Structure formats: structure tokens, C-alpha cells
Structure 1
Amino acid sequence: MALKLETINIPHLPASLPVHVALYRNVQNSAFLRQQLLAGNSEFEYALIDASMVLSRAHALAAVFRAVNDYMNNRLKSRNVHSEIVFSFNPTNNIAESFRKFGIADSTKDLLVVKVSVTPEITHDSVAAHLESSIEGTSVPFDDLTLSEISDITKIKKLYKLGALPSPAAKADPSQPNGTHTDDAQRQLELSMLGAIALRGS
């Protein structure tokens, strides 16, 4: 199956810092990938995120924006922009907790991979080639529909302390007018999470 690697220019960030994003399901070598991170292998300098903790594209890109913006302004609190992306998902300032809750674990099956072009040699093609040779999993589209099948809403709400908000349903409830409640619940949850990312430590 062809790799679905998306290269994104995030609004309000320089075009010289594109972000490469790939989403995988049924990953078989998470323990190996995590070991490369722990060993500091520069070839595996990615943000490797447990995709079950990602609600939507907007949620992921908000964390990426926060990290890249902090990188540009010399405000990193972790080793590099990629570890900062994982940290940026966390609503608290606890770096170790960020990696425990959002980072790749040996048992991770659904994985979001992010790479920022911090040097000119990091291109769509170079990232694609490395990912294709390094990750044993099924590449799937990085979109809200796919993420909705992966997201662990209960865990996400608990971590962001949003238990009082309604949970988005997997499908629209036909007993509700036009099924709009599902989209409303999703949007309400998303906005609360984006606010938590933006406000952390400010």
C-alpha cells in the first residue's frame, strides 16, 4: 500500500518550515521505533505520537504549531522541535508525563508521525523513503474521519479534564434532528482542547 505522507504548510508559520505527517494503523514495530528514540538515533528524529490520543487534524496541527512557534522563538522546553510536539499535546507542563501519555509505547498500534523540515535536506521524498523502510504498518489518510475511528475519547477527555463535556458519538443518532449533536459535541471538545494547548504555561 502506498505511503500517504502529507506535507503541510501551516498558516502563520514560514513556508520554509513545512511539516510532514503520516498516520499508521496496525503498527508492528513500535518497540523498535521507541528504542531508536530513546537511543537518540538522529535518523529517527520524529514526533511519534500515540494516535489514540489525537482527536482531529486541528488538534494535531495545533500542537505542531505551538511546538514550531516555540522552536522559532528559542522557547523549547525539551530536546528538539519533535519532542516539543509531543510535549505540546499535554495540557500541563510535565514533560515526562507528555511522553508517557502521548508518545509512542511498545504496544502502540495506531501511530501519528510528524517531521518538521528544520534543515533543507529534509524533504517530502526523503521523509517518505525513510518511513517506508522503517515503519511496519498500514498507511492511512491523516483526516478527521480516520482519526474518529482511532481516538480514545474517554482517555482524551480524562487527560484534558473535560469529563463534563458530551462525547461525540461514533455516528450521528438518527433520533436527533439532522444528527447535528455529534458534530457539536466534537467541535466543543476540540475547541476546549485547542484552548488548553494554547494556554499551557502562558
Structure 2
Amino acid sequence: MTYSLELDNNSNSTIKMKLYRNVKNVSDLRQKILNRTLDCCIVKPSLIVDPFQIVIAANKAVVAEKLTTKSIYSEILFNLSISKNITQSLQKFGIEDNEREILVVVIEKEGTTSNFENVLRQIDGEEVNMLQLKELTNVEEVKKVYKLSDVEFTHLSVLNSVVSRIAGKEFL
């Protein structure tokens, strides 16, 4: 199941996401991303509470007048983090060679050729329903990464707290 949503109206962009388990070629995918031969972002699902979390990070990236990182996809990973350290953000939210679950993210601009299917063809894994994301989320790790207090955790939804951190990153 593909999660698809139009981003900011002025951006003419759509975000598309798919969740995979038991991926056998993560190392190859990671290398292709580093070599810029695979045009996408692959995120660790263990740190994602809801697809909306990625939508917020992606929307910030597409409306930014100037990127902090080298590409729209590294900008999404950077925006997911509350850290202003690019390397730390990419390492925290990007995939490592030993990952087996991945969340694939592609941004498509209106009027351009779709890259999404090309990216998906290169994944050797089991596509699963996006609803299974909750099973892969490590809430304790999310609390730690986003520095959520116990009081905040009990009074607000984790998603609301995380989205607030992402949206307000430049003000912290």
C-alpha cells in the first residue's frame, strides 16, 4: 500500500511512501543513495510514529528557499531530527547496512516523470501495509531521540510532540 499525499500547494509536489520488511539488499540500496544513483530517501521505521511525521519534514524541505543539505532527500532526514548537526541527523534517521525494515520516501514534482516505480523495483523485500508501521516503531527510542519528558508523554500524543519538535526545530 502506497501512502501518497500532496505537499504544499505552491510546491506542486507529492510525497509517496512504502514500507518494507525483510529487505535483503539494504547495503546495495544505501550505496546507491550515497552514490546518488537512487533518487529517494530511506528512513528507519523504528523512529517513525506516523507517516505524517515524514510529511512535515518533507514539506519543510520542499518549501525551503535554500536547503541546508545537498539534496531534498537528505534534507528530509535532517528535518526529521531535532539536531542541527547534519551528519548526526543523517546517521540517526537514515538506514544502516544491517537494517531489514525500511520506509521508502519519494517526492514527485507535477509534470515530471515518476521515479517511484523505478525505486521500488530495486528493493528486494516484502512490501507491507503502512498500518504495520506502528508495530515497527520503538516508542522508547522515539522518546529519547526527541527528548520527550514523561509528563509530556502522558499528556500529549507522541505524534503531536514529535511534529511540534520537527516544526519548531529552527527556534530551539
* Count of residue pairs brought into register by the alignment: 171
Please give the alpha-carbon distance, in whole angstroms, between the structure 2 residues aligned to 1:148 and 1:23.
11
Aligned residue among 110, 113, 136 for 2:124: 136
Please give the alpha-carbon distance, in whole angstroms, between the structure 2 residues aligned to 1:20 and 1:30.
19
Please give the alpha-carbon distance, in whole angstroms, between the structure 2 residues aligned to 1:22 and 1:59.
14
Offset at residue 140 of structure 1 (A): 1.6
1:94-113 C-alpha deviation (Å, 9 max, x unpaired)? 11011111001101111111
Offset at residue 46 of structure 1 (A): 0.6
Please give the alpha-carbon distance, in whole angstroms, between the structure 2 residues aligned to 1:156 and 1:25.
20
Aligned residue among 60, 85, 94 for 2:85: 94
- In structure 2, relative to structure 1, the CA distance for the partners of 1:165 and 1:45 (3 Å cut) is farther
- Structure 1 residue ranges (4+ consecutive) displaced by more than 4 angstroms after TM superposition: none
The answer to whether structure 1 residue 5 and structure 2 residue 2 are counterparts is yes
Please give the alpha-carbon distance, in whole angstroms, between the structure 2 residues aligned to 1:136 and 1:162.
35
Offset at residue 186 of structure 1 (A): 9.4
Q: Which amino acid in the other structure matches residue 8 of structure 1?
A: L
On the 8 A contact 2:39/2:119 being kept in 1, the answer is no
Query: TM-score normalised to the size of structure 1?
Result: 0.76
On the 8 A contact 1:48/1:111 being kept in 2, the answer is yes
Matches within 5 A, 1:15-54: 16-41=12-37, 44-54=38-48
Comparing both chains, which one has the higher relative contact order based on Cα–Cα distances under 8 Å and sequence gaps of 6 or more?
A: 2
On the 8 A contact 2:77/2:89 being kept in 1, the answer is yes
On the 8 A contact 1:13/1:69 being kept in 2, the answer is no
On the 8 A contact 1:18/1:117 being kept in 2, the answer is yes
Specify the structure having the higher radius of gyration (Cα).
Answer: 1
1:154-202 C-alpha deviation (Å, 9 max, x unpaired)? 11110111142576xxxxxxxxxxxxxxxxx595211111111011113
On the 8 A contact 2:68/2:75 being kept in 1, the answer is yes
Give the 3-state SS of the residue equivalent to 1:161 in structure 2.
coil
Please give the alpha-carbon distance, in whole angstroms, between the structure 1 residues aligned to 2:148 and 2:60.
21
| Identity between Structure 1 and Structure 2 (%) | 26
Offset at residue 93 of structure 1 (A): 0.8
Give the 3-state SS of the residue equivalent to 2:97 in structure 1.
coil
- In structure 2, stretches of 5+ residues that fail to align are none
Offset at residue 75 of structure 1 (A): 2.2
Q: Which amino acid in the other structure matches residue 151 of structure 1?
A: T
Offset at residue 147 of structure 1 (A): 1.4
On the 8 A contact 2:11/2:62 being kept in 1, the answer is no
- In structure 2, relative to structure 1, the CA distance for the partners of 1:165 and 1:114 (3 Å cut) is farther
